[in-house]
A = this chain, B = another copy of it.
Amino acid sequence: MNQEETFNTRTDISELGEFNLIDQLTFETVLKQPTSIKGIGDDAAVIDSGDHFTLVSTDMLVEGIHFDLSYTPLKHLGYKAIIVNLSDIYAMNAVPTQVTVSIGISNRFSVEALEEIYKGINLACDSYNVDLVGGDTTSSQKGLILSITAIGVANKGQVAYRSGAKVGDIICVSGSLGAPYLGLHILEREKQIFAELPTLQPKLEDHQYVISRLLKPEARKDIIEALEQGNCIPTSMIDISDGLASELHHIARQSGVGIIIEEAKVPIHPDAKMQAIDFGLDPITCALHGGEDYELLFTISPSDFEAIRYLPDISIIGEVVTRNQGIKLISESGKEHVLTSQGWNHFNQ
């Protein structure tokens, strides 16, 4: 097929969606190197480094798609870009050690703007004891593009894949869910109001919690450390970037299991709950499908129950069941609902 035909025979990318697209593009990929333990399809790739594993994860953030600079401070953006990548390494039950940062910028940005981004990058690196070891700065035709690669390490027996959940395992989630989605709602609303009435000052004070969860997320280093202290290795793990429901589907599909979770057990912060109700949204819908939480979703063997039982900030939300039982939510009224995956699809926006 020549270039002309390639552009003519066209399947729109939005027809496939992000996950199917990556599947279609990489399904023929064969791992040839004996050191390639895990390739595409988990939060990070796993490479055999002799006495330990090296983890590699990469993410691209594009202005206008992943962030809006009209309400995202540049320093926060730099911070968050690092955090979301570290989160992918923690989600393998590993410890991030280094990052590389590539930035594409249009001439709309000044050196001072770039310095603000780097302040956020350096702050995140310092907070998580990670080194910035490489990168690339280039111009772009339009907007700001950040591409981060995070490197981490793990003992060989310690890595938690998406594929390890077993029937009977307990499903856990860290922190609380839904707040970043509500933070986004507020900022988008204020942006709209400002566009229509530029003299009105935005009222953001009452919404600090949900907004800060969106603009300045943290990665759950503390959870990984607590699990290690408790000698608990999760049977599977993933971080929540596309929404709890979507991540549960990843674990179920890759582990070949079913999942049942209880609505009443899904952790939602009181501020997020209030905010959802203010917007006329169902809090559980925000928690299930909002995304950008960067909390950890993991399964543990029932024999590890005592190890995590009293750990702070971990909620038990359900149980791994057989595949033919499907993926279900039991509502507060006791009714069973099929839980659809409904991650954010940037290509459909």
Interface residues of A, Cβ cutoff 8 Å to B: 1, 3, 6-7, 9-16, 18, 21-22, 24-26, 28-29, 31-33, 35-36, 38-40, 44-45, 47, 49-52, 54, 56-60, 62-66, 73-74, 97-98, 100, 102-105, 107, 109-116, 118, 122, 126, 129-143, 145, 147, 149, 151, 153, 346-347, 349
Contact = CB atoms under 8 A, between A and B. Distances in A.
Given A64-B141, A138-B66, A33 B130 contact: yes
Contact of A104 (B6, B60, B100, B115): B60
Contacts of A137: 18, 21-22, 25
A50 to B, nearest CB: 5
Nearest to A2: B73
A45 B100 contact: yes
Given A111-B24, A131-B33, A133-B39, A63 B10 contact: no
B14 A107 contact: yes
Contacts of A113: 6-7, 10
B149 A100 contact: yes
A3 B116 CA distance: 9
A38 B98 CA distance: 11
Given A50-B49, A114-B21, A36 B3 contact: no
Given A16-B111, A25-B115, A136 B59 contact: yes
Contacts of A142: 141-143
Contacts of A3: 73-74, 116
> Majority SS of interface residues in chain A?
mixed
Contact of A62 (B12, B14, B139): B139
26 contacts: A3-B73, A3-B74, A9-B110, A13-B105, A13-B109, A21-B114, A22-B135, A26-B132, A26-B135, A28-B122, A31-B133, A39-B132, A40-B133, A45-B98, A45-B100, A47-B98, A49-B50, A49-B54, A56-B151, A58-B149, A60-B102, A60-B138, A60-B145, A102-B147, A139-B349, A140-B145
B109 A62 contact: no
A35 B65 contact: no
A31 B133 CA distance: 8
A104 B144 CA distance: 12
A50 B50 CA distance: 8
A141 B63 contact: yes
